[in-house]
A and B are shown apart, each in its own frame.
Chain A
Amino acid sequence: EAAVTQSPRSKVAVTGGKVTLSCHQTNNHDYMYWYRQDTGHGLRLIHYSYVADSTEKGDIPDGYKASRPSQENFSLILELASLSQTAVYFCASSDRDDTEVFFGKGTRLTVV
């Protein structure tokens, strides 16, 4: 069964600190995504990647970086965490551009 694993599942970070959210998929999928979920905004795409060693900006990339060192791993990096980045973050993967997207269970990030 397709699996996307996120770590950590929750994190409290200090304003101005660096945060790294990790994602690992065992689906052998080429496409990976990072979404942010906030009440009233649904799922918003931050960064995505369709091949290892390459990342693309999504719809709300400001304040975030991404890294795809291998097909299986995709990280989201907040170099200087801010209060406004408190949210739930989801990693996802998919095969082709017309197929189902598989999501991880999410990471709840609280910036204080």
Chain B
Amino acid sequence: DTEVTQTPKHLVMGMTNKKSLKCEQHMGHRAMYWYKQKAKKPPELMFVYSYEKLSINESVPSRFSPECPNSSLLNLHLHALQPEDSALYLCASSQGAGTGGYYGYTFGSGTRLTVV
């Protein structure tokens, strides 16, 4: 299995809702990442988990809360989001612990989030 699977593919939520994005990989990768991508912009790193521990938090607002239950799963819990948080949220994984290593980063297909 050489894929990173993200669910849901699309999500519309109100500003008072609580929702979660899920990401799963079964490649034995040691690091997992959350990125946010606005239209026509590059991906922006949000969080890095290395060996299931949070290693990088790019000063992301607390309304985004990551969780890594085990080495294959990564969640992003959302609460009290703002319309400007609408974006494509990408999960990625890598064999290296916090680096792309020899094979780079594998990205999931993303969750298109709309906050209304």
Asked if A pairs with B, the answer is: no
